[in-house]
Each structure stands twice: as structure tokens, then as C-alpha cells.
Structure 1
């Protein structure tokens, strides 16, 4: 089975690759920087060095593919939604020209709204582009990644977790490795067809207050959730050098699912994955928060 994996060094992609190897396969890895791969992984895979924005290169890399795992990588372009749409066009072209039997696309909860959810609007565009091919495709609508906490290390070390969400608003939190488990299972299976959506909600929905409690209990460092305004976040992002389109794309991801939003795919045995936030925090975040700390 020839399975092509994009972003194979990412939090999800690296898990997909490992599982495909353990299943006895030789995945095809489409990436720009092969040096980032673990040598043991690199030697067991077929590598195609290419940029996903290069349509001709992607078509060549996916020729003869039985399945494709497609992730929109960050491009740093001024307009992230337009960038996703261009990547979606590349994916749709490859699926169509190579008649790829199964495609699994890493989307996000919120894409079902189609508009008004910041950068997620770009993922919604990709969903639409892949649907238009008429091919068999699965959109994995993922919850909020636990790894996003790694972007808040400085403030967490100061004992604060800031958010623009209401402090009592629950969201699905998921370990990216669990997304990789679902993706790999679907890539290896031939028992599904048509256009499908499957959310990946993690084990439970958590409010910002509960997330702060989990981080506190799992790390031994007291963390308090604090709500900030969209304008406060905009100012912070602009000071970090983001363009206006990038800022609005980032802010819109939370504001678009803030009020009365209910995921299209509900929490069921199919959408619930096992790794708790507490487990992830203890394994990955706790060591980082304790770096340099004198006990």
C-alpha cells in the first residue's frame, strides 16, 4: 500500500509515520527538510523533497498513491486563508489527476461554519475543494491541540493562562498523537468510501478554568486562567510582527466558536480519543515549566 504523508515531522504527521512503519509499510514522506527526520525513520521511508505549494511536484509525489494524508503547513504568507486555498487547489489537483482512492485531510472543529472562524476558514475552503473532486475523502475535524500550550510557556511560568474565551466555555482538548492514531487507522483501512467527516474531540471538553486547574495539578505550579479581550490579543500579535490578515486569522479562530457553536460531529465513541490533558501536561509541559527551577 503506497501511502503519502505530508508534514511528516509535525506533531500529528510524525505519529502517522511511526504507526505506518509499525504496520509494516514504507510510507512516502513529502517534505522540505529531510534533515529534521529521525535517521531511523528516514532510512525506512521513501522521501520526496518538495514544497506542497508546487503543484507539479505534489502530483509527481502522489502518483500511484493508495492513500494521501494532507495537512496544510504554515507558509508565513500575509493572508493565511488564501494560502490554505492555494494549497487546497494543489491537493485537489493531485487527487483528481492521480485518482487517489482515499484522502484524509487534517481539518479543524469550526470548519463546518465555512466562514467567520479566522484561519479555519482556509481549512473549510480545502474541505470544499476536496469535496468537489468527487473522490473518497475524510475530513478530520480536530479539537484544540494540547501542544498549543507550548506557545504560552513564558506566561505559564509566570502563573497565568490567558484566553479570549469565556472562562466557563468548554472546548474539546486533544493530544495530537491521538489525531495521528485516527488518521493512520483510516489511511490503512479500505472499508470506507465517499465524503466523510470525523471529529477528534479528545477525552473531554474543558473550560479555561479547568485547563488551568489541570496544569496546576500536573505541574505543581499554580496557574490562573485570565480572560483578555480580542483587542488585547490583537495588540499583542501586532507587536510580535504579524500582518493584519494574520492577526485576524488568529483572533477569529477563537471568536468564531465562542458563542453558541456546537460541532457538527458530536462526541461519540468514534470522536472520543483517550489521552487526557493531565497526562499530556505531565509528560510534555511539566519538564519545560520546571527548567531552571530550584526546588
Structure 2
């Protein structure tokens, strides 16, 4: 069994690598900078150094693999994020097809079921379709809002704010990427499923932004209040920060395009994961805020 892992230093990929090693599997990792791998991990994996936007590298790196975790590495900040994701997905899908990779787990998102109109999420929708056409057994993990996105708001949280361009009372699925990694690793190790499978990964409960603010207030030991802004405010701020128009559209579209969305996969036994935001915030956000205050 040869299992390839893309983005092995990311929040999900690093967890998958750890679990594969603990299961007795030596994973093959596709990584741009091997120095970012933890020293204890680096010696225990097969490293293929290269860029996932390089079709030749991806084809070579997936040769002989029986299964793969596929993650789109496209940053939200590139000039045309949806087109970039689509091109990267085409390289990955071609490598899966040409190398006969039998089993693929793809890190997708809630909102990909819309196919169009959800900003950068449209790029993940395109990759789903590209992977579906390879003939491999494919699992699309439609994930909720990552806890780790809150790390991008450290300055805001330090000032007692949680700034959102959404209905502050709308419940959303929130999930710890570590739990996503647990599901991905289990599926990669299991060869008993076949065909095209879509699985929601929704965390332990749906949370509104106001509920999140209350949780963070308790976990961080400071009063956090929701501050709502408009899509126009977000566009103006992102443009002022130097992001190109395509990136701005991709970021704003992820919120505006999914405001009325009910996830295709309902919450239940197979979509609910265990880690609560309160414990995660205390363990991860609280130390980061303390460090930033020094």
C-alpha cells in the first residue's frame, strides 16, 4: 500500500501523515519545502519535492500510489483563484488517471454542491468534477468552517472584536481540521468503499457568529463582541490591502454565495465530529494571543 499525501504540512495533511505513520504505513508526501516537515516526521516518510501546479511533478510523484489525499493548495489571494484551482485540479486528476491511483480522498467544502456562485469554492467544485472523471474511487469531504480560520483574526480578537460579513445569528457548521484528518486517514486506509462518495464534516454543532463570540469570550478570558460589516466593506478593505480584483471576488463570493445555503449532507452520525470549539480555542488561540501581546 502506497498512500500519497499532498500539502503534508497543512492542518489536515499533517494529521493524516501522523495517523498513517501510527498505522504502520510509510506515506509518500508531496511537498514544496521539505524543511517544513517536523524532523521526527521527515525521516519516516518518502519525500517528493515539488509544486502541485507542475503537471510533470505531480504525475511523477503519484506513480505507483494506490491512494492519495488531494488538497488544493491555491491561496485565496492569487489573481484568479478559481481558474488557478481548476488548472491545479486538472494536473492532479490527470496524474490520478494516468497512474491508476485507485482511491482518492479530496478536501472539499460545504458550498461545493452549488457548483457556481460561491467564490473560490467554485474551484473546489471544479476539482470534484475532474476527480469524478478519473475512474478512481473518490471521496469528497465537504467540510464546514475551520476553527483555524480564527487564527487569521488574532489582531481583531485582541481588540475584543469578531468581524464578520454575514448574518451573526445564522448557524454554520464549524470543524477542527484535526478531526477532518482523522476521517481522511481512516478512508485512505480502508479499501472497502467504492464509487463516488460525498461526506459532510460538520464538527460537533452548528454555531452562529454570536455563539462563537460567547465561546471565545469564555475560552480567551476577554470580552469578544461581533462586529458586522457589509460585502462592500470587505471588498474595500481587501482592495486597500493590495489584493487583485479576482482574489477579492473569490473571497467575498465565499460568504455572499453561501448565505442561504443548507449543506447537502445533513448533520448526523457520519457528519458530526467530536472536537468542541471551546477546548480548541483555549488550547490554541489563547496561547497565540498571549504570545502576540508580548
TM-score by length of structure 1 reads 0.97
Match of 1:153 in 2: 154
SS of the equivalent of 1:105 reads: strand
| 2:66 corresponds to 1:66 | yes
Separation in 2, partners of 1:290, 1:221: 12
Separation in 2, partners of 1:251, 1:277: 24
Match of 2:254 in 1: 253
Alignment of 1:1-295 (within 5 A): 1-75=1-75, 77-259=78-260, 261-291=261-291
Separation in 1, partners of 2:136, 2:29: 22
Displacement of 1:290 in angstroms is 2.5
Displacement of 1:293 in angstroms is 5.2
Separation in 2, partners of 1:177, 1:254: 23
Distance verdict in 2 for CA 1:184–1:238, change over 3 Å: same
Please tell me whether the aligned partners of residues 78 and 244 of structure 2 are also in contact (alpha carbons under 8 angstroms): no
Q: For structure 2, which runs of at least 5 residues remain unmatched after alignment?
A: none
Displacement of 1:77 in angstroms is 3.1
Displacement of 1:54 in angstroms is 1.1
SS of the equivalent of 1:138 reads: strand
SS of the equivalent of 1:9 reads: coil
- 1:123-179 alpha-carbon deviations (Å, 9 max, x no partner): 000001111223210100110000000101111100000111101101000000000
- 1:238-279 alpha-carbon deviations (Å, 9 max, x no partner): 1111100000100111111112x1111111111110000111
Displacement of 1:59 in angstroms is 1.1
SS of the equivalent of 1:290 reads: helix
Q: For structure 1, which runs of at least 5 residues remain unmatched after alignment?
A: none
TM-score by length of structure 2 reads 0.98
The root-mean-square deviation of aligned C-alpha atoms, in Å, is 1.1
Separation in 1, partners of 2:183, 2:240: 38
SS of the equivalent of 2:169 reads: coil
SS of the equivalent of 2:59 reads: helix
**Count, aligned residues:** 293
SS of the equivalent of 1:196 reads: strand
Displacement of 1:287 in angstroms is 1.1
Separation in 1, partners of 2:52, 2:192: 28
Displacement of 1:50 in angstroms is 1.0
Displacement of 1:56 in angstroms is 1.4
